[in-house]
């Protein structure tokens, strides 16, 4: 048993020989076996125990057992007391999630205090099988089928090479007692139902089902590496900043999978990715929302914007001042005309005598028209921006500087209006400069 775990640790590169390890010790068979095996292998171990105060006297019994075990073998033990029910209520999460958050936060803090480089937890092959089945029942992708990984940051799982039967047999062989969590013996939780009912049924079909599922998880983990490489390459081909090329996406081997991987970190779910692909050739302007982002179909691209992209309010402008907005900064200067004009799109030089002040800056509105400098006649701002191939989110963020009669004098970052252009008779100019934020 010890050699088997040692080989697994070396194969997965979980620990150096001189590593200091914090062992998560509940007092159950798995964690007790983990502590005994790692100490027998010569690792410098300390232990951490959480009392969640969820099972009355049984919780106190587990704590007392952990203390006695560590005292017997001269192992340092850190113990945390948690009011788990109150924490769950305050955070509006399940008791199970609350216990997980409290547990791992305590482990991390204790590892730092003890100088431990790794936190060892006692998951084994049966846990891998249960996790795979649980994920299949809930619905999952390739990542939900690789089960439990042997290492995640500084969390290590040295007993994934063992199953529950091997662990209890080992403890019996060395005469080591352990405690049993009575909540694990009920079918109130889905995982317990899988452990107590579904896996025993599957063993009547395949007695080695936990081993089979663990091996399958290993193969899926290897396949996932190729999947991740393909997704990374596809992401580079179709994603440009915050927009996705629709034609390029549809040309990929699996558009739905690639879109899901792009959108999942932004809070979109798998069903949304499927819906987007099914309706990707529909009407421009269709929107999909996650808690943090909005995806908009805009002609040949899917545009991603944060949901905190709030509309810009009107700003009253005065000469020789600077105005900051969420998307850029406007600087205004009144100068004597010296015959030079900055013709860049981010600067407008206007004849001050032609302006009906005060000016203000506001978002564009439906029906806005202006006469762009250098063009004949007036044009709807929406048509002008379409000709400029602006995306829908860019149109929604577009600002205009208008006079007191609400005539556009400058489409910010684009073109000034012709009626306010500088001529040979101009003596004073108002210079507007726009610095776009990234």
175 occurs within a structural domain = yes
Domain that holds residue 396: 315-436
Question: Exposed, middle or buried by CB within 10 Å (0-12, 13-18, 19+), for 150?
Answer: buried
CATH number reported for the structural domain that contains residue 187 in this entry: 3.40.50.620
291-329 pLDDT, tens digit per residue, is 888 898 888 889 888 886 555 678 999 888 888 887 788
Nearest to 255 by CA among 263, 315, 150: 263
Q: Is residue 231 part of a domain?
A: no
How many Cα neighbours within 13 Å face the side chain of 74?
3
Residue 418 is assigned to a structural domain of this protein: yes
Number of domains in the chain: 3
Residue at which a domain ends, from 253, 287, 306: 306
CA triplet 52, 55, 59: central angle to 5 degrees? 60
226: in domain: no
Do residue 76 and residue 205 come from a single domain?
A: yes
H helix and E strand count, the chain: 15, 21
| Domain end (from 306, 333, 350) | 306
- The enclosing domain of 429 has a CATH number of 3.50.40.10
Residues 93 and 171 in one domain: yes
* 22 and 53 fall within a common domain: yes
Domain boundary among 265, 286, 306: 306
In angstroms, the CA 71 to CA 47 distance is: 11
Residues 212 and 248 grouped into a single domain: no
Residue 355 φ/ψ, nearest 5 degrees: -85, 135
71 and 94 in a single domain? The answer is yes
Same structural domain for residues 65 and 187?
Answer: yes
In a domain? residue 200: yes
Q: Give the residue among 226, 218, 243, 360 at the shortest CA–CA distance from 300.
A: 243
Same domain? For 188 and 262 the reply is no
Please tell me what DSSP assigns to residue 110: H
Does residue 232 lie within any of the structural domains? no
Model pLDDT for residues 255-271, shown as the tens digit of each residue = 999 999 999 888 888 88
Residues 198 and 322 in one domain: no
Question: Within this chain, do residues 208 and 287 fall inside the same structural domain, yes or no?
Answer: no
Would you say 22 and 111 are in contact if contact means Cβ atoms under 8 Å apart? yes
Tell me: do 80 and 176 sit in the same domain: yes
Classify residue 230: in a domain, yes or no: no
pTM: 0.64
Is the dihedral angle over the CA atoms 299, 303, 307, 313 positive or is it negative?
negative
Q: Is there a single domain that holds both residue 211 and residue 80? A: yes
Beta partners for residue 316, in sequence order:
360
Full pLDDT tens readout for the chain, 438 residues: 899 999 999 999 999 888 899 999 999 999 999 999 999 999 999 999 999 998 889 999 999 999 999 999 999 999 999 999 999 999 889 888 999 999 999 999 999 999 999 999 999 999 999 999 998 888 877 878 888 889 999 999 999 999 999 999 999 999 999 998 877 666 667 888 998 899 999 999 999 999 999 899 889 988 988 999 999 999 999 998 788 999 999 999 999 999 999 998 888 888 899 999 998 887 777 889 898 888 988 888 898 888 865 556 789 998 888 888 877 889 999 999 988 888 888 999 999 999 999 999 999 998 999 999 988 888 999 899 988 888 777 787 889 999 999 999 999 999 999 999 999 899 999 999 999 865
- Provide the β-strand partners of residue 434: 330
Here the CATH number for the domain that contains residue 271 is 3.30.465.60
**Omega into 93 within 30° of 0, i.e. cis?**
no
Q: Is residue 235 part of a domain?
A: no
- Residues 248 and 208 both lie in one domain: no
């Amino acid at each position: 048993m010890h050699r088997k775990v040692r080989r697994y640790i070396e194969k997965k590169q979980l620990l150096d020989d001189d590593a200091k390890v914090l062992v998560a010790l509940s007092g159950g068979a798995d964690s007790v076996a983990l502590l005994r095996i790692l100490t027998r292998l010569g690792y410098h171990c300390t232990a951490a125990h959480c009392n969640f105060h969820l099972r009355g006297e049984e919780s106190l019994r587990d704590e007392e057992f952990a203390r006695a075990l560590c005292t017997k073998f001269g192992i340092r033990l850190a113990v945390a007391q948690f009011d788990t029910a109150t924490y769950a209520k305050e955070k509006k999460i399940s008791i199970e999630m609350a216990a997980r958050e409290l547990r791992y936060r305590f482990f991390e803090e204790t590892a730092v205090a003890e100088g431990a480089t790794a936190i060892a937890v006692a998951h084994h092959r049966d846990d891998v099988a249960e996790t795979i089945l649980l994920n299949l029942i809930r619905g999952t992708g390739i990542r939900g089928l690789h089960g439990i990984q042997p290492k995640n940051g500084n969390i290590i799982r040295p007993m994934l090479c063992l199953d529950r039967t091997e662990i209890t047999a080992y403890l019996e062989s060395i005469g080591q007692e352990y405690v049993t969590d009575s909540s694990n013996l009920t079918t109130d939780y889905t995982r317990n139902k899988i452990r107590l009912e579904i896996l025993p049924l599957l063993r009547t079909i395949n007695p080695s089902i936990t081993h089979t599922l663990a091996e399958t998880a290993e193969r899926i983990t290897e396949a996932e590496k190729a999947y991740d490489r393909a997704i990374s390459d596809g992401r580079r081909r179709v994603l440009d900043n915050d927009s996705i090329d629709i034609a390029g996406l549809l040309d990929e081997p699996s558009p739905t999978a690639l879109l899901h991987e792009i959108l999942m970190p932004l809070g979109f779910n798998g069903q949304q990715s499927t819906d987007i692909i099914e309706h990707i050739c529909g009407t421009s302007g269709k929107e999909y929302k996650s808690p943090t982002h909005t995806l908009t179909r805009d002609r040949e691209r899917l545009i991603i914007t944060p949901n905190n992209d709030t509309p810009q309010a009107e700003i009253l402008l005065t000469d020789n001042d600077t105005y900051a907005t969420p998307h850029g900064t406007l600087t205004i200067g009144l100068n004597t005309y010296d015959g030079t004009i900055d013709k860049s799109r981010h600067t407008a030089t206007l004849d001050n005598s032609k302006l009906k002040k005060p000016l203000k800056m506001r978002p564009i509105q439906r029906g806005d028209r202006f006469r762009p400098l250098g063009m004949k006649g007036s044009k709807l701002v929406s048509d002008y921006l379409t000709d400029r191939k602006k995306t829908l989110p860019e149109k929604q963020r577009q600002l205009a500087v208008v006079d007191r009669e609400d005539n556009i004098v400058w489409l910010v970052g684009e073109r000034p209006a012709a009626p306010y252009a500088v001529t040979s008779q101009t003596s004073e100019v108002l210079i507007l400069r726009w610095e776009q934020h990234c």
